[in-house]
Structure 1
């Protein structure tokens, strides 16, 4: 299993630190879809007891990143072609609404956060750093959701955030420079408070990513996994087929 860094003593609870560390490793693909998570090993690597670790895994399960099998263990959730389809179905409606609301309600701080994400993506592209580009592009979408000014909408999209970030990393071979320029155009419309234009741009932007993402999913999508059988195995380096 990939070694995980020990939690820092920065005032955060051990549960929160374990949650954030494992989540970052899943989204960043250090831990792969379908890979078994051995509690004893992870607890030792993180320097935490089983209690905060299990609480962290339960939170990750609620976000669709982990599957827990009672009395047997845990594994990183599979990511299938059907998962990609469902994510785009939600994004093409709910996330587009967030863009429209962001154009009407954004603050100066919101614009700065979006601009920072676009600039970070450009720098990462110039450095040929696909992982950093994916993280920056996902960060732009997260900044838009934050700017929408609708707490209910943010709460609806919060469980989807981790899986969208995961998808950005799994599809980082896409034409990310084109994505970056589309983000810049949407940022300009948001800055101009042009909700109609940004809504149309966002609709095309999200929809245009569906087919390329589904095509890439054919190369990494997990085969059907029996969680009970997967957590029974002692294979600690399981990879999707």
Structure 2
């Protein structure tokens, strides 16, 4: 569908809705290509190419790139354009540190709410089962990280949930680059987390969440160093 030019006789609400949908489509398409490794760190994202690929004008392309920049997947360089964000060791360290600030706290509250009946762990069980099923690295990473996001959702804190979502998107991207998922370890540790949450053992669950995240740090950094030739 063609973009509606400014000054169109159509209502502003319709124009905004259509433009938002087009930008969302470009955003999701580019993000998917980044996460699965089709667009590698440092790759240039030319507006003309993206406009032709998604059959839209440059306006939704720019909107999508701005959103990806806000979420840390794209970096804009003055007079040059946008490119996929390079991944450095410092970036990964900061990402893990940020997760450690959010997830143990949220896990403690999730255990309290599940045990009291204020929230249900059914979705957690479903995600754990899905992660145990055979699949591609990106799919397994998505299920594993979905498990983490669901725990934060169960905490009932929507600000923490909105804060963590883009971080886990970057983790999924890292899994796509490294093809490292620690499948067996994740399965065991996620089951332990689920058991502690259901039992209402908040402090135990929080400690397990902290250890689970921290134990994944060095293997991921080592895999990235090899994949990106740091």
TM-score by length of 2: 0.83
1: CA distance, partners of 2:120 / 2:20: 26
Contact 2:149 2:164 (C-alpha < 8 Å) held by counterparts: no
* Pick aligned residue for 2:47 from 39, 44, 63: 39
> Is the partner of 1:209 in helix, strand or coil?
helix
Aligned to 1:23: 31
* Pick aligned residue for 2:210 from 191, 203, 220: 203
2: CA distance, partners of 1:63 / 1:110: 30
* Pick aligned residue for 2:129 from 84, 101, 119: 119
Q: Pairwise mapping of residues 60-99 of structure 1 onto structure 2 (< 5 A)?
A: 60-99=68-107
Flag the structure with higher helix content.
2
Q: What RMSD over aligned residues (CA atoms) do the two structures have, in Å?
A: 2.3
> Is the partner of 1:68 in helix, strand or coil?
strand
Residues 104 and 170 (structure 1 numbering): CA distance in 2 closer, same or farther, change over 3 Å? farther
2: CA distance, partners of 1:79 / 1:33: 7
Gaps (5+ residues) in structure 2?
1-17
1: CA distance, partners of 2:119 / 2:26: 30
- 1:176-195 CA-to-partner distances (Å, cap 9, x unmatched) read 12112211211121122221
The answer as to 2:76 corresponding to 1:101 is: no
Residues 150 and 53 (structure 1 numbering): CA distance in 2 closer, same or farther, change over 3 Å? same
* 1:12 positional shift: 7.0
Structure 1 stretches (4+) deviating beyond 6 angstroms? none
The answer as to 2:163 corresponding to 1:156 is: yes
> Is the partner of 2:121 in helix, strand or coil?
helix
2: CA distance, partners of 1:147 / 1:56: 30
The answer as to 2:176 corresponding to 1:169 is: yes
TM-score by length of 1: 0.79
**Which piece of structure 1 moves more, 56-65 or 170-179?**
170-179
* 1:41 positional shift: 0.9
